Amino acid sequence: MRSGRTASPSAFVESLEGRIQFDGGVTIIVGGASQSAFAKPVAYASGGKGPQGVVTGDFNRDKKADIAYVNYGSNSVGIMLNTGSGSFGKAAVYANVGSALTSIAATDFNGDGYLDLAFVGKDLGVMFGKGNGTFNPVTHIALGKKPLTVITGDFNKDGRADIAATNFSSNTISVVLNRGRSRFFAPINSSGGNGPAGLVAGDFTGDGKLDIAVSDMGDGGTGGGAGVRVLVGAGNGSFAATGLLKVGSRPGSIAAGDLNKDGKLDLVTSNGGIVGISSGGQDSVSVLMGVGSGTFGAATSFATGSGPTSVVIADYNQDKRLDVLAANYGSSTISVLKGNNSGSLSVVESLPGATGNSSLAIADFNVDGKIDVVSTGFTAGTVVVYRHK
C-alpha cells in the first residue's frame, strides 16, 4: 500500500504492502498471471439472498484471511472463517442487521486490535469484532437516502479510522468521524453530485491529506450527467467538491492507482451500474490519468464483459505494471485488462465468475505466498473462492 495515498479496509490487507488498491469497501485484486494460475473455483452457500459487497480480513486472529460479505436480499452479514488450508466452513449469518445491504468494509475502529465491520443499506451499520470471529450486535447510524458504498480512512488525521459513504437517492456523501471508545460523531453531509455510487480514498492533490473520488451514475434526479467528482480533503473531515469529469455511462465502482508510475494517482471506473440499484451503461471501464493537484486528463474507455459492476487495480501478472480487473454481472465473468505503464489497457483474458458476479476481494487464503480471489454471486447466492495454484 502506498503510505499516505490510499486507505485500507483491513489490517490484513495492509500487510500486502505495495501490491494492492481498494474501492469502497471491497474491491481488491492482485496476483495470477493467467486463468491457468487458478485451481477450479469452489462455491460456498452465502446463507442468504443476493450476496454483494465482500471484504477479507483476519477476524479471529489466527493469521489466516477470512471473508465477510453482505446479503442484499436477506438483510444479513455473512462471515466465513478460514479452516487453515484455504477452504472455509459454513457461513455464520448475522440476520436482520440492515436493509438492502450493498457494501462492506473492515478495519479496527476502536483500537482494540480486533477487526470491526461497517456496512451500508438503508443506513450505516457497525459491528465491533470480538477477535474470535464473532461480532457484537449492530450499531445503526442514519445517513442519507439509499447509501450504496462505504469506505474507511483517517479523514481528519487524528489516528482513528473514520467512515465515508455515498447516498444515491439524496445525492450526498456522508462522512462519519470516529470519536474514540467505539463511538462516532453525527454524519457530516456534503453534495455528492448526481446519483453518487462508488467512492475511493486517496491523496489526489499530493498535500498529505486524504481526498475522496466519487463516481456519479448520472441518474440521481439533479439533471447532471455521469462522471467522477474529486472531493478535496481539508484534513479535518471536511471536503470541497471539484467539477465533473466525464467517463462512460453508469459508472458504479471506482478504484485508484498509479497506472503510469508518475507518482500521481489515476482513477478507473466500471461503467455498468450497481447490482440491484441501477443497471445498463456501457460494457467498459474508463481510465482518468492524474496530472497532479487533484486534476485529471480526459477519460479513455476499454471494453469489458457485459455489465461491469466492480473494478479493481492490481499487478495481476506481477510484472510491476498495474492492471485492471472488472467483475461483470451480465456475463458472470471477470475481465482481466493488462496495463503497460502508460494508462492504456488491453484485454488478455476472461475468467469465469460466479453467476451474477457482483464484487471481488483478495487474500492469501492458504498462506502459500500467492494471492487468491473471492467473488460474490448475486444471482446464485454463492461466495466463490479461486485459489492460486
Contact (Cβ atoms closer than 8 angstroms) between residue 353 and residue 336:
no
17 burial type by CB count under 10 A (0-12 exposed, 13-18 middle, 19+ buried)? exposed
The CA distance from 256 to 228, in Å, is 12
Q: Are 175 and 149 in contact (CB under 8 A)?
A: no
Write down the pLDDT at residue 193.
87
User: Around 117, how many Cα atoms within 13 Å sit in the side-chain half-sphere?
Assistant: 37
Interacting residues of 259 by C-beta distance below 8 A, sequence separation 6+: 266, 268, 287, 289, 313, 322, 339, 341, 342, 343
Between β-strands 162-167 and 172-176, what pairing exists: parallel, antiparallel or unpaired?
antiparallel
CA 206 to chain centre: 22
Identify the DSSP state of 278. Answer: B
Residues of the chain with pLDDT under 50: 1-36, 221-223
- Could you tell me which of 372, 259, 368, 271 has the C-alpha nearest to residue 327? 271
- Say what the pLDDT of residue 325 is: 86
Q: pTM for the whole thing? A: 0.89
Quick one: pLDDT at residue 106?
Answer: 97
Residues 6+ apart with CB under 8 A from 269: 198, 215, 228, 247, 248, 251, 252, 253, 254, 285, 286, 288, 311
pLDDT at 219: 63
Place of cell 439533479: 222
Task: Give residue 5's pLDDT.
Answer: 33
Residue where the block lists cell 467498459: 284
Q: What is the largest CA-CA distance in the chain?
A: 51
End-to-end Cα distance, the chain = 24
Which amino acid does the sequence have at 161? A
List the beta strands (DSSP E) in 251-344: 253-257, 266-270, 284-288, 290-292, 295-296, 300-303, 308-314, 323-328, 333-339
Give me the phi and psi of 281, to 5 degrees please: 95, -155
> Distance between CA atoms of 305 and 303, rounded to whole angstroms?
7
DSSP 44-92: EE-SSSSEEEEEEE-TTSSSS-EEEEEETTTTEEEEE-B-SSS-B-PPE
